[in-house]
Structure 1
């Protein structure tokens, strides 16, 4: 089997060259079902590396993912330098939802724990996973910059922040990228009132799109509620996967699939190609635990869309039903702002 063509671009202004499509590792440790045995997960990481997928994204709240990666790096020390590794801090899972702590103190503690689990002296990219609504962003970024100067971080990132927060953070230290949900069903970062994407481009900050396949909805592999009811699958609690909303959204996916057929592509590939068509400063981190799906995703980098095809997908997808997460979900701070820094 031939190796997929890996297309790279600079991650942010003057940033490192990384694949346009990275590998989201949340599902490797559960969330969409129970995790597989370690041997199977190690084999998957081996295959990802062999295919040329070297942009890996994890978090300290993704179950045992950092521990698993630590074991893999220990067994493959010569491969570490070839992988651009991102992890995150700030979300603390709780039974009723999540707790968020983006304080400087917790940032230091979380990074030390992540490095210990990973068995590494540094990570390539360290994100604030969520903002806690009480810590001025300047304080957190100042500490992250100190950790970078100490050699423990190479690049700084933020997930789910507002344009104003990004601008304030960038005044302290350049932010290489922001991680936001972005796909044909989720277009909030384009909202002219938010001015988010506009601000990213002004500052030279790349966008790394999480859930570029709409948590699997855009893959076409979900045909009914029964496909997301296995133990450990969080999607059964999300509005777009519930009741009549799911039925309506699956009808939209069927239309997208018809467009995909005209490109000899799968719905997943079309959705990823659509994302990459939004600009060279847009990256995606689709997650999977299956080698054939990884190959399918990576091949999307070779698909080009015309302006008419991009618009057709956008036009079909605009009728998506339901918000991306439940209203009032505890701890969530989408497009998060932080209090002003007191003089």
Structure 2
């Protein structure tokens, strides 16, 4: 299998593989944590294929996913680019809040560095916008981490267009991580144009609809898999309606002589080109290799249009998160004005 080419992610100088690997499902949310040894093998195999861009976060586990990734890249640090995130804070009782205050930003970075076993994080994201702390304050502290050599580049995840602009004015934002797939298209009217205008790379997560486009069956998921209860387009009538859309994609994939997941991933890759790097997650070698194979699927403008007509954004049934979870995404979350900051911690 041909090696994965490298691309510039954004305009600040970060170079990564044209396809990344999301590591979340190895440790959290998609059923029980997988065997560490198997996941280390998978990550190392990804590197052998040319995948060098790995995505994690302190909340995955929590914390265990960073430790796992650190083990996998321990003796090949110079060959990979590590992205991790902060924002979800847990108190002694397990309650979760979103924090972007300077004290928390710095403490989170120190924790991630230690768990990953690295001296510097290649790309450090604010995982969600703190609606109590102006984004200028959060990014101001992230900027200090860059100046101190603890972080190379900074990013945002699930931030609104206005917050992206405000953050970028404080320190150049290298990438915005956001959900983007044939099933999730709303960002194309607002987020994508702003990123392109400002020279910010886009990192689509869940480019295969949280596995739905790859054939994941809800009835086969573990009871503690959050997709069973927290992803509305996997539920009830929504699921049945979306299966009909998937059949249309499968028909086009058959014509293109590739798998349905490869076709959908190729669409995301080409839709976001040249500075978009999807990070499909997997825990299986076969799926990893299939995803890499999607880089070889070339779609014409006619193909792209056919896919978008097969899955009209307005026809996808259900939402990508529950209403409660959507409140912290770009569709609802907004940073308060800088003038409101009093210097008090968010938590």
TM-score by length of 1: 0.92
Aligned residue for 1:311? Answer: 305
Q: Pick one of 333, 339, 343 that aligns with 1:342.
A: 339
In the alignment, is residue 257 of structure 1 matched against residue 237 of structure 2?
Answer: no
Give the alignment partner of residue 4 of structure 2, picking from 3, 6, 11: 6
Matches within 5 A, 1:200-211: 200-211=195-206
The residue aligned with 1:111 is: 109
- Identify the range of structure 1 (327-336 vs 163-172) with the bigger mean alpha-carbon deviation: 327-336
Does 2:235 match 1:232?
no
Alignment of 1:104-183 (within 5 A): 104-183=102-181
| Cα distance in structure 1, aligned partners of 2:34 and 2:258 | 29
Inter-partner Cα distance in structure 2 for 1:92 and 1:317: 37
1:160 CA drift (Å): 0.6
Q: Which residue of 1 aligns with 2:67?
A: 67
The CA deviation at 1:328 is 2.6
Query: 1:122-164 CA distances to partner (integer Å, 9 max, x unpaired)?
Result: 1100000001101101111111111011110000000011111
Q: Please report how far the alpha carbon of residue 330 of structure 1 lies from its aligned counterpart in structure 2 after TM superposition.
A: 8.0
Alpha-carbon spacing, 1:273–1:65, altered in 2? closer, same or farther (3 Å): same
Change in Cα spacing, 1:93 to 1:28, as seen in structure 2 (3 Å) is farther
Could you say if the C-alpha distance between residues 262 and 96 of structure 1 is closer, same or farther in structure 2, counting changes exceeding 3 Å? farther
The answer to whether residue 9 in structure 2 is matched with residue 15 in structure 1 is no
Query: 1:93 Cα shift?
Result: 6.0
Query: What is the SS of the residue equivalent to 2:323?
Result: coil
Instruction: Return the alpha-carbon distance in structure 2 between the equivalents of residues 342 and 133 of structure 1.
Output: 14
CA contact (8 A) 2:12 2:172 kept: no
Residues 264-312 of structure 1: per-residue CA shift (max 9 Å, x gap): 1111110111011112122200000101100000111111101111111
Instruction: Write out aligned runs for 1:294-305 (5 A).
Output: 294-305=288-299
How far has the Cα of 1:96 moved from its partner?
9.4
> Which residue number in structure 1 is paired with residue 345 of structure 2?
none
**1:217 aligns to what?**
212
Unaligned runs of 5+ in 1: none
Residues of 2 paired with 1:97 and 1:184: CA distance? 34
RMSD over aligned Cα atoms = 1.8
TM-score, with structure 2 as normaliser: 0.91
The within-5 A match list for 1:282-297 is: 282-297=276-291
Unaligned runs of 5+ in 2: 341-347
Find 1:320's aligned residue among 316, 321, 328: 316
Partner of 2:191: 196
Contact 1:98–1:332 under 8 Å retained in 2 = no
The C-alpha deviation readout for 1:66-111, integer Å capped at 9, x for no partner, is: 111222334xx2x101101100000236899842112111110101
From the superposition, tell whether residues 154 and 91 of structure 1 become closer, same or farther in structure 2 (CA, over 3 Å): same
| Residues 199 and 330 of structure 1, relative CA distance in 2, 3 Å threshold | closer
SS state at 1:127 partner: strand
Counterpart secondary structure, 1:332: coil
Is the CA contact 1:190–1:197 (under 8 Å) kept in the aligned structure 2?
A: yes
TM-superposed deviation, 1:17: 2.2
Taking the aligned partners of 1:303 and 1:5, their CA distance within structure 2 comes to 14
